[in-house]
Structure 1
Amino acid sequence: MRSHSRVYLLLAAVMAVANVVLGALLVAQFRSSQQKAPSHHHNHHQKKPTPIPIGGLPQVNSHPDWLPPEEWRTEIFRLHEIYGEEPVGTAKEAWLSLIPKGKGFIVVKNDTELPNMPGLRHPEHEQHACVAIFHQLHCLYITYAAYWNARAGNFDDIPPEHLIHCWDYLRQSIMCAGDTSLEWVHRLDSPPGETSGWGFQHTCKNFDAIFDWAESHRYTETVEID
């Protein structure tokens, strides 16, 4: 009986020691995980936001006040035939209505800190610039006007080098914007397998907001598109 009692006591002692060791290991592991967690949490909050390109800037973290607004809205493209009619009367007025006073040329005062950008001359007391969308509309109008001039037999009213400039400028502008909206093709379309581009949804910058901003920051009173 005594030998059995001693065995039971020895087993109990071994189990007690094992429990103590196991408990110590669990506590050590818990403390180790707690020490690592704050470091991970700290790094998460210290991570800098990814800069995004805005208005031709290399990379910025917020929208500068001296750049046009970048608001977005959904538009459905539809045909407006007036923009393809001969550029006289109401058709010419429709095109002119797309250009703000000042022709899209704006001023940035010298109290605004500007980054280093291609084409920017810092020593000047104020900076002048053209908002690209209005340059693009000007170029589109020039090619459209050249078409109507050619139909009337006038091939020299718009210099060829101006047209070549506009075609390549528009090519690069379209590729830069990279509109990836899907224009669905249906087998009943005419011609089949093609698309007119009308009736499809696009995510667009708010043109009205850009127009108003450019007009309020203009430095001339010019009202023209050609």
Structure 2
Amino acid sequence: MEKSLNFIKRSSEYDALSQHDSTESIGSDHDENLPSHQKARRSHRWKSYLKLALISGVFLAAYSLLIVSLTYNAAKSHRKIGQRFLKTPVDPEYIVYEPRVMEQWEDRHGEPVTYFGEPSEKIDKGWHDLFKYQNIGVDPKLMKEMDRDWEGIQLPDGTYYGSIMVFHHLHCLKNLYHALNPEYYGLANLTGEEQASWRDHTTHCLHMLKEAVMCQGDTTVLTMMWADYRLRPIGNLTASHECVNWDRLMEWVKPNSRDLTKEGYLVHPKFGTSFVSYGCSSLSTRVADAEFVYDTGPVVVDGHLGNGPVG
């Protein structure tokens, strides 16, 4: 029994001594009382901690730089190929961005195809060829996702009649070009009601083109410079723009286009197929190879088909 009490007493003394030593070792004031080998171990331990922290910091910085670099490069890559957050029927692989300097006048650089200038059959054919593949078949899945399948015009192959918006903007440019040449395109022969409709259509096109330009928000830099032929500064318009590669886009458009003039391909639920034969209105006789444009051709007046403004 006495031995047990002595053991407990010695244990209590040992615990008290250990706690005392631990308390002293924590304070910096007691470091001088430590033996030299303990000081060396403590110094080595702190150096190891600092070295580990430094290595970890360098690794974290390098990792962060890598993530930022990969994210930036991925964003640039996606911008070059099909970066959109809204739905489009076009495969992203066919939406390729490239730098392009825009010419200020089409008739000063020997362009093979022209769309403006003095009206001619050549210009009319150029416009016609531009719209040749504009009518496309839209996938039923996309129509459903857009909640437009219930109102869409389904074609015999199961797709839905549609187009991509760039063709509407081009159509509006063509419409404005016609407005600049009313005699050539028969606009002078329009009745009062038709002229009012034409002006309304032209105003619509001006508005839509303004919306399209502001929607794209081209932030290409425009710098100013002096010219020896005028007092005011002039703009240098030769900076490269980020442009969709048109030829690449057409590689998707062409195989997905639909010929709406095929027999029984486009049938109006009320007027049948007779309206398709109108193509463009009778006023557009100078338009080469009359094409079917979605907002061009006959209109309904008092429940009967009639001629609409030229598209």
TM-score range relative to shorter protein? 0.5 to 0.7
How far is the alpha carbon of 1:192 from its aligned partner? 4.0
Instruction: Tell me the distance in 1 between the aligned counterparts of 2:223 and 2:244.
Output: 22
Which of 72, 80, 83 pairs up with 2:106? 80
Amino acid at match of 2:105: L
The alpha-carbon distance between structure 1 residues 162 and 208, as it changes in their structure 2 partners (threshold 3 A), is same
Q: Which runs of structure 1 show a deviation greater than 6 angstroms over 4 or more consecutive aligned residues?
A: 32-36, 47-53, 150-153
Relative distance call for 1:55 and 1:20 in structure 2 (3 A) is closer
2:135 matched to 1:105? yes
Counterpart Cα distance in 2 of 1:66 and 1:115? 20
Unpaired runs of at least 5, structure 1: 1-10
1:193: Cα distance to partner? 2.8
Aligned residue for 1:3? none
Alpha-carbon distance in 2 for matches of 1:68, 1:28: 54
Query: Quick one: which amino acid aligns to residue 187 of structure 1?
Result: W
Preserved contact between residue 79 and residue 198 of structure 1 (Cα < 8 Å): no
Verify: 1:141 aligned to 2:174, yes or no.
Answer: yes
Residue 12 to residue 115, structure 1, CA distance change in 2 (3 Å)? farther
- Between structures 1 and 2, the one with greater helix share: 2
For residue 252 of structure 2, the aligned residue among 202, 213, 223 is: 213
Q: Distance in 1 between matches of 2:159 and 2:135?
A: 13
Check the 8 A contact 1:105/1:130 in 2, yes or no: yes
Code of the residue aligned with 2:96 in structure 1: it is E
> TM-score under structure 2 normalisation?
0.50
Following superposition, the deviation at residue 158 of structure 1 comes to 5.8
Q: Which amino acid aligns with 1:170?
A: L
- 1:162 is aligned to 2:201: yes
Deviates more, 1:29-38 or 1:84-93: 29-38
Could you tell me the percent identity over the aligned residues?
Answer: 17
Amino acid at match of 1:180: T
- The separation in 2 between residues aligned to 1:72 and 1:115, in whole angstroms, is 32
Structure 2 counterpart of 1:19, which letter? A
1:121 aligns with 2:148: yes
Instruction: Indicate conservation of the 8 Å contact 2:136/2:162, yes or no.
Output: yes
Q: In the TM superposition, what is the alpha-carbon distance from 1:140 to its structure 2 partner?
A: 0.8
Q: CA RMSD in A?
A: 4.4
Preserved CA contact (<8 Å) 2:225 2:236: no
Amino acid at match of 2:214: M
| Pair 87,212 (structure 1): closer, same or farther in 2 beyond 3 Å | farther
Q: Distance in 2 between matches of 1:29 and 1:204?
A: 52
**In 2: Cα distance, 1:67 partner to 1:159 partner:** 39
**C-alpha distance in structure 1 between counterparts of 2:234 and 2:83, whole Å:** 31
Q: How many residues align?
A: 206
Which is higher, the Rg of structure 1 or of structure 2? 2
- TM-score (normalizing by structure 1): 0.66
User: Shift of the alpha carbon at 1:97?
Assistant: 3.1
The structural deviation recorded for 1:22 is 1.5
